Structure 1
Amino acid sequence: MKINFKKGFTLIELLVVVAIIGILASVVLASLNSARSKGSDAAIKANLANLRPQAEIYYDGTGAGTYGSAGACSITSAGVVTGCASNVMADTTFRSGMTAAASASGNNAVGNVGGTPSAWAVAVPLKTVATTFWCVDSAGASKSVTTALSTNTVCPTS
């Protein structure tokens, strides 16, 4: 009597392979989320860095030697603008940079123009650590801070 064995994989072997593939997929997806957040942070930094030359174009042109009238400005990630009065933050190109940074962050971009219209600052929360902000100002600062901008026209020291 000859026994005819069929060759193939057992159910246990197939389940082990599926489990290994599932574990590998979860590791890859977790690292992709981290990469997306870091990409958003890079976009925030790039958009805010572009504000400085745009502010100087406003200063030399429309602002006639100032950054405009004092005031605060807030732009949501959806692009809703609050307060951007007749100052550099009302400039279309400047405002679009703030909007792009807010959109990348998923949080509000906050900016202030000083009382003597000689200074401005903008801060946006980073995507990777929401309690950390990227701040740029007219004094040349471009840095990560843990203190919110509030009404300052220079980036906080911490």
Structure 2
Amino acid sequence: MKIFTKKGFTLIELLVVIAIIGILASIVLVSLGGARDKAKDARAIADMSQIRATAEMIYASDGDYDNVKCTHDDMKVLCADINAQTGNDVSISIPASPALKYCASVKLLSKKDAADNYYCIDSTGIAKETTGACAATHTCP
């Protein structure tokens, strides 16, 4: 008489394992959402630093900040990249000509509900997370 031994897994066992893997995968994907937003914010902040450097080069060549705009050839790519990362446009504030100061800010993704959900740079050297866009004085709030 031949004795048959059980080989492999039953259908129920396979379904349970697949369900557990699915649950774990969904937990990982949900937790990565915040990390993606933080990475996009980090890139936007790096681009804002490049905008500040470009603004200083414009000031050095022109003697004012009148051309510190997202339409300027040197800033188009930076402003477009920030928009692609955050979905928000860079807000640049300059006074009437001759502009001797400027302020630029962008709304961040990862801090939607936080009070300091903007990143701001200005001609005084400030670069920080703030509670709002540029002030009427063309400086970071």
Moved over 4 A (4+): none
Mapped partners of 2:83, 2:136: distance in 1: 18
The answer to whether the 8 A contact 1:58-1:91 is kept is: no
1: distance between equivalents of 2:57 and 2:90? Answer: 21
Kept in 1: contact 2:120–2:133 (CA 8 A):
no
**Match of 2:126?**
141
Change in 2 beyond 3 A, CA 1:148/1:52: closer
Aligned to 1:75: none
Higher deviation after alignment, 111-120 or 137-146:
111-120
Q: What is the root-mean-square deviation of aligned Cα atoms in Å? A: 2.0
Matched residue, 1:23: 23
**TM-score in terms of structure 2 length:** 0.84
Runs (5+) with no aligned partner, structure 2 = none
Q: CA offsets, 1:21-79, max 9 Å, x none? A: 01111122123222211110111100000111211111121x2x1112xxxxxxxxxxx
Kindly indicate whether residue 81 of structure 2 is the aligned counterpart of residue 100 of structure 1. Answer: yes
Cα distance in 2 for residues equivalent to 1:130 and 1:98: 20
Distance 2:28 2:92 in 1: 37
Name the % identity: 40
Q: Aligned pairs, how many?
A: 136
| Mapped pair 1:118 → 2:103 | no
Q: Identify, as 1 or 2, the structure richer in strand.
A: 1
Which residue of structure 1 aligns with residue 110 of structure 2? Answer: 128
State the Cα deviation string for residues 74-127 of structure 1 (Å, max 9, x = none): xxxxxxxxxxxxx22142112322222122111121111123511111111111
The Cα of 1:129 is off from its aligned counterpart by 1.9
**Does the aligned pair in 2 maintain the 1:48–1:136 contact within 8 Å?**
yes
User: Do 2:120 and 2:127's aligned partners in 1 also have CA atoms closer than 8 Å?
Assistant: yes
Q: Which residue of 2 aligns with 1:79?
A: none
Alpha-carbon deviations, 1:117-142, whole Å to 9, x = none?
11111111111123511111111111
Matches within 5 A, 1:55-70: 55-61=55-61, 63=62, 65-68=63-66
**In structure 2, C-alpha distance between the alignment counterparts of 1:106 and 1:144, rounded to whole Å:** 17
Taking structure 1 as reference, are residues 135 and 98 closer, same or farther at Cα in structure 2, changes over 3 Å only? same
